[in-house]
């Protein structure tokens, strides 16, 4: 109900906010899970929320009106509304936390490039410090929300201007049975670019995805964890 209060004395709130129809909607979140959810990872919304409530003012403990949520979101279910807030709204992160996430992702990206990239002339990997220097020279921006796998290609495009580097790209064909296809979609999309896909008459999903070659084993590991090994794969092309 409008004006209802909830746990007014709670402190140390980390919030995600969305303004819609002139109304303010807020949820109290776990930052790490919220960033992962917004980045497209398959995270249970219950693991993101510290409290399964939508607030009009979280700091004052004011719970959002169910009637207003129904009108604006098409549902008064706080879990469903929370998903929309995370996808369309803004996560209120401290500058220190944002920098921490960027630094972590930068390190992961540099490691991927170091392991999978090579100097076209010597065919040897570039030292980590050289890659980091190239990123700084090319003024590469690391986004705290976008998964590392999706940022690698953009980073490579920018640093190639200042650092000759060859990075293997693979096209991989997959066939995933109907019982695992829905859960597999987010993993496939997270690791690479879907070139084409098709749903078969038996409900299975056939898809061709393009990704950095160095991600292939991690990709198979995550996919097999969901599909329990029930997935067919074939490398179609390497470039």
Length of the chain: 239
- The rounded Cα 5 to chain-centroid distance in angstroms is 33
Instruction: Output the six-digit token pair for 202.
Output: 């038996």
Q: The CATH number of 169-238 is which of 3.30.70.240, 2.60.260.20, 3.20.20.70, 3.40.640.10?
A: 3.30.70.240
Q: Which residue has the higher pLDDT, 124 or 214?
A: 124
Residue 7 has pLDDT above 60, yes or no: no
Q: Which residue has the higher pLDDT, 239 or 130?
A: 130
Angle formed at CA 178 by CA 180 and CA 185, multiple of 5 degrees: 50
Task: Compute the mean pLDDT over every residue in the chain, rounded to the nearest whole number.
Answer: 89
d(CA 187, CA 181): 10
Q: The CATH number of 95-167 is which of 3.40.1160.10, 3.40.190.10, 3.50.30.10, 1.10.10.900?
A: 1.10.10.900
Q: Where are the domains of the chain?
A: 15-91, 95-167, 169-238
Residue 3 has pLDDT above 80, yes or no: no
Residue 233 has pLDDT above 60, yes or no: yes
Helix or strand run (H / E) with residue 114:
helix 95-116
Domain 15-91 has CATH 3.30.70.1060: no
How far, in Å, are 28, 82, 83, 205 from residue 75 at the CA level?
A: 19, 11, 12, 31
d(CA 50, CA 62): 16
The model carries a pTM of 0.58
56-114 pLDDT per residue, tens? 999 999 999 999 999 999 999 999 999 999 999 999 888 888 899 999 999 999 998 98
Residue 10 has pLDDT above 80, yes or no: no
């Amino acid at each position: 109900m409008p004006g209802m209060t909830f746990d007014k004395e709670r402190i140390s709130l980390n919030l995600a906010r969305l303004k819609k129809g002139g109304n303010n909607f807020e949820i109290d979140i776990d930052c790490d899970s919220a960033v992962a959810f917004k980045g497209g990872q398959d995270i249970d919304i219950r693991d993101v929320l510290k409290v399964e409530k939508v607030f009009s003012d979280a700091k004052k403990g004011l719970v959002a009106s169910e009637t207003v949520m129904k009108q604006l979101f098409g549902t008064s279910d706080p879990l469903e509304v929370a998903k929309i807030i995370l996808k369309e709204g803004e996560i209120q992160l401290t500058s220190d936390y944002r920098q921490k996430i960027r630094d972590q992702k930068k390190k992961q990206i540099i490691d991927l490039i170091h392991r999978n990239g090579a100097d076209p002339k010597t065919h040897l990997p570039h030292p980590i410090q050289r890659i980091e220097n190239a990123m700084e020279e090319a003024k590469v921006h690391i986004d705290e929300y976008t998964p590392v796998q999706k940022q690698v290609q953009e980073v490579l495009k920018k640093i190639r201007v200042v650092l000759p580097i060859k990075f293997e790209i693979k096209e991989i064909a997959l066939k995933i049975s109907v019982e695992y296809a829905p859960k597999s979609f987010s993993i496939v999309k997270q690791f690479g670019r879907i070139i084409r896909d098709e749903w078969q008459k038996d409900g299975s999903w056939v898809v061709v995805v393009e990704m950095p070659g160095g991600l292939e084993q991690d990709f198979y590991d995550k996919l097999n964890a969901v599909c329990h090994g029930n997935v067919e794969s074939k490398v179609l092309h390497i470039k």
